[in-house]
Structure 1
């Protein structure tokens, strides 16, 4: 549930005031996406608290006596979410805790930190508007809230190191069912790890990573199928992400973004990037040609007539992972400007090509994206435009800068044509934020190019 939407208690009551107004005991107009108080004080307008009920619950309703694991998880989530108020989040946003090893840094500098904002101003002569910084920056640099769900779910799944009792997949076999739960948690955990730059909840060395029986054959068959396969006890499910790719994501964090990886020399870091890139290429070549991602995707790249949501998700995940792997080379550029290894720039360029491929391909594949994939898909273009924006500011006179600026300018159109039949309040609010945010990035990108060319604008 989105934290911006007024929340209901289990008695159906709506929270009448946002969290900030409630703490200050002032009247709240509950406007969307921000109430009047939050808007004028540049605060995130959230409704995270649960409305207290006056009716005393009977002993039968006590959580401590409820055996249902879902109820326990909901209570844990509610308690942990309540611990992070707006002020704490803002301190995290503007502090230096989002350091260079964070996977959400694009040129080695977290854009929404104070250091990042100072860097943007030095390159453009203008600061990001406070409204944009507060509305979007908190969401991008608050990975801790995202991380609660897999942490709790994974703990509930309690994956066993014991292999399934039967070599043939059978959903009715309890061990196979538990393995399905484990792989679901594992793939979600590793994807969030790569997206946020935070350590994963599940350590590979403590997990049995034996794939389900005939996994690759069944997975490829599902992706290539034009209809939903017959769902029986012998049908291996479609997991949130391809499991072999999830294992590569785990390796990528350890090798590129962990505290130990942060201590690597340039040569050691480039070697880690090379090894991961080779492993990713082996994975790509293992996929059937019908939906195997091309190395890059441009406007002239031919598109299969049989494009499907499943194959599109595989391709988008591939381009994003290429960007993640090679983005790590940006640390070398930030730490030693003008004195980095010759392979650093070429590696970073691969990251940028992958970001461009993401945005170009998404326009082609939007028509097959279903409503329930909104929150998964929307991350890919956001990550891509931030990468291109950062590169424009870093190299405003590069020959790719004008083209990347046009991509930034067209981003609002991309967000507006996402084919969601019925937008929820959370999705509508998020798209409005993205619209304003992408236009702000385009404005700043254009200022950076003008400033580098000596055409300093009279205002900005």
Structure 2
């Protein structure tokens, strides 16, 4: 044990420690600005220099008082801030609860619901890669090519100048674009399945096979060739093999593919197979989507496989069809990265085995991966345009050779029955949109809306617009005459061959015209008024507006052929067209066409309500329908005010 100090030593040590706690520097050390050990009776410095060690100077208490009062002052200021915040929150809640507080409470006359308002986001909270321009004016900073969910102060000022009215920011600037919604997950059911251990239980094998049989007989197999029926049957056999596999992690891709397929199959509505026995039992698509989603982290830890790519791609399609664009973008990016690892972006389909029956397993796998590549390529172009995100599949990195015989097969099959084609030719997919249009969309985005494109001069921009317009016209002329879309559509010249396939064809053609020619709004010649160039820019913008009118007129004429559940797939086309027409009315309110355009705004609201009523689970999504109705009603109100203001000024 260590020896204990004597009492004298303890008393001297205790005195020194006490002195250290309350001491200050002696007069000599303080004067020389050196560290004082405050030893008794003399500090080290004074003892070494044999001088008196005194503590006689007067200490200034000002600093001590400041340090003592500062925390109290901070506490007082913090308390006052908290009181102000609480008061503001209380006032805000009371105002929100009041039936007459918010103008959005009396929004669309179509719905008698009291719903929460949607506050506008700050500009700093949203990325701004592609600002929207119209006739030389920058209206928004949100990353959308054809939408203005968020308005710049300059855009608001321009609208108020043209209309003489103050805009309702809550209606015209919602937190999300009108064509995008956020899916609400049933967390209580998910937690219940997690507690009982049934979260990853497989469905009945017969149910999966019946859904696979319906998919193989439906048009969806040709439009979305996400599965090869023979390869997927092998996946089913591997998952349901005996003895039952103990390890879930070893089969994450296989199980996830089963869950994702049933979620995707729940969205299939095909009149061709609706009455063909045996009908598969209905499934809870949201439940199987959640189960497949939970398998994604393990899939990403494993080496990429066909089943893993199919799982993530079907999750992206499910989100795209149900309107969750951000989630669809994330899943599509994951699937794209997996396809890049597997080499599907540079492996065009071979023509060697087209004559003989397909018997090679490797050939089937490679062909299926290539089909999934085209699905992801098509989906990415649509999502990039709708949310303004950069592209991953670019022409510089991908082999865009079309599948053998694709162009000839695409329009020849439209002369017959889609149902017969789906049963007789399951190995010849059509894809959702003409792949050549998707390639033009990709080139238009890169040339006109990429980060590099935003720095181009007026001459470079107009050159790109002219070249893209020529390419789009060459595509249009290559379409057989009976299916060829026209720039202007009217009820006087209806489409005699209208079908779901021609609807998507025309809508995408009009969208390409809009995004190509609307880029002319960025030209600086709008501000400078440079004579001949101004005329060219004006005609280019007029083409985009005319394409937007044709979009609304064609959807109204083809409303009867739109299948149920298609609302979130097509809503972007009329909403983006509405915004272009709205801006044109404000730009030219005295034009005779403005009155006709105003009627289009009015009739489109009812058309979208009818489409929404045919959407499954419409009651659960009534909140978003009210947001859309408020958005369109505010556009109609402001457009009406602009025309009235122009008329009053002229008279």
Which residue does the alignment assign to 1:238?
A: 430
Which residue does the alignment assign to 1:49?
A: none
1:311 Cα deviation after fit: 1.1
| Contact 1:284-1:293 at 8 Å conserved across structures | yes
Q: Give matches, 1:255-334, under 5 Å.
A: 255-304=447-496, 306-332=497-523
Which residue does the alignment assign to 1:75?
A: none
The separation in 2 between residues aligned to 1:334 and 1:387, in whole angstroms, is: 20
Which residue does the alignment assign to 1:128?
A: 167
CA distance 1:335–1:448, change in 2 (3 Å): same
The separation in 1 between residues aligned to 2:430 and 2:623, in whole angstroms, is: 30
- The gaps in structure 2 that reach 5 residues or longer are 1-85, 87-95, 105-117, 141-147, 182-324
CA distance 1:136–1:249, change in 2 (3 Å): same
The separation in 2 between residues aligned to 1:219 and 1:427, in whole angstroms, is: 35
- Write out per-residue CA displacement over residues 184-203 of structure 1, whole angstroms, 9 at most, x where no aligned residue: 00011112223333311222
Which residue does the alignment assign to 1:447?
A: 641
| Contact 1:123-1:448 at 8 Å conserved across structures | yes
The separation in 2 between residues aligned to 1:343 and 1:281, in whole angstroms, is: 18
1:214 Cα deviation after fit: 0.7
Which residue does the alignment assign to 1:7?
A: none
| Contact 1:167-1:213 at 8 Å conserved across structures | no
SS at match of 1:147: helix
Which residue does the alignment assign to 1:351?
A: 544
Q: Give matches, 1:375-454, under 5 Å.
A: 375-418=568-611, 421-425=614-618, 427-454=621-648
| Contact 1:136-1:433 at 8 Å conserved across structures | no
1:286 Cα deviation after fit: 1.0
User: Are positions 1:118 and 2:310 aligned together?
Assistant: no
Instruction: Give the TM-score, by structure 2 length.
Output: 0.52
Residue 122 of structure 2 is aligned with which of 91, 94, 98? Answer: 91
Q: Give matches, 1:161-176, under 5 Å.
A: 161-168=346-353, 173-176=364-367
1:389 Cα deviation after fit: 0.4
Q: Give matches, 1:4-153, under 5 Å.
A: 90-92=121-123, 97-98=127-128, 101-102=130-131, 105-107=133-135, 108-110=138-140, 111=148, 112-115=150-153, 116-135=155-174, 138-139=177-178, 147-153=329-335
SS at match of 1:206: coil
How many positions carry a matched residue from both structures? 375
| Contact 2:489-2:554 at 8 Å conserved across structures | yes
The separation in 1 between residues aligned to 2:336 and 2:103, in whole angstroms, is: 35
The separation in 2 between residues aligned to 1:331 and 1:218, in whole angstroms, is: 40
CA distance 1:40–1:185, change in 2 (3 Å): farther
User: Are positions 1:370 and 2:566 aligned together?
Assistant: no
CA distance 1:219–1:372, change in 2 (3 Å): farther
CA distance 1:445–1:419, change in 2 (3 Å): closer
CA distance 1:395–1:160, change in 2 (3 Å): closer
The separation in 1 between residues aligned to 2:540 and 2:173, in whole angstroms, is: 32
- Write out per-residue CA displacement over residues 39-81 of structure 1, whole angstroms, 9 at most, x where no aligned residue: 98999xxxxxxxxxxxxxxxxxxxxxxxxxxxxxxxxxxxxxx
- Write out per-residue CA displacement over residues 347-394 of structure 1, whole angstroms, 9 at most, x where no aligned residue: 110111101111111111111111243212111110111000011112
Which residue does the alignment assign to 2:415?
A: 224
Instruction: Give the TM-score, by structure 1 length.
Output: 0.73
The separation in 1 between residues aligned to 2:103 and 2:637, in whole angstroms, is: 21
The separation in 2 between residues aligned to 1:160 and 1:247, in whole angstroms, is: 14
Which one has the bigger helix percentage? 2
- Write out per-residue CA displacement over residues 64-118 of structure 1, whole angstroms, 9 at most, x where no aligned residue: xxxxxxxxxxxxxxxxxxxxxx99x9234776x536x44x554442232233223
The separation in 2 between residues aligned to 1:267 and 1:454, in whole angstroms, is: 39
CA distance 1:136–1:212, change in 2 (3 Å): same
The separation in 2 between residues aligned to 1:380 and 1:237, in whole angstroms, is: 24
Q: Give matches, 1:246-261, under 5 Å.
A: 246-261=438-453
The separation in 2 between residues aligned to 1:144 and 1:42, in whole angstroms, is: 29
The separation in 1 between residues aligned to 2:345 and 2:124, in whole angstroms, is: 37
| Contact 1:297-1:361 at 8 Å conserved across structures | yes
The separation in 2 between residues aligned to 1:333 and 1:432, in whole angstroms, is: 38
- The gaps in structure 1 that reach 5 residues or longer are 1-23, 25-34, 44-85
